[in-house]
Amino acid sequence: VSFAEACETLQDKFSSRKQTWLSWGQYDRKMFESQCRETCVDYPFSKDHINLKNVFAVTNGLRKETNLPGALDYLNMPFQGTLHVGKDDAFNIALIFIDMMKKVRGTNGK
């Protein structure tokens, strides 16, 4: 699908303007904003954004932020898919987020 169609799907199917969204660093947020401006497409997300790269570093007591493969390695998880392919990056970011939420809840996946 085109970029415009993808943005429309995010809004229509997932109510993306009403949700807090997260990405691995600020790069993705800035790129979405830029591409929307350049293609005259409505920005599909709310202003509520979480930089999970930063939150991961802080919650794990790391001295500096790490890249996505480094975070997965830290968690002993393999990267699934191809790095820098949007859907694969999003899937792996979701795995990290789920792991973090399990730790917050103290559930170990149950």
Distance separating alpha carbons of residues 73 and 6, to the nearest angstrom: 30
Structure confidence at residue 5 as a pLDDT band (50, 70, 90): very high
pTM: 0.84
Per-residue pLDDT tens digits for 79-100:
999 999 989 999 999 999 999 9
Nearest CA-CA partner of 85 in 73, 93, 77, 75: 93
pLDDT at 103: 86
pLDDT at 23: 94
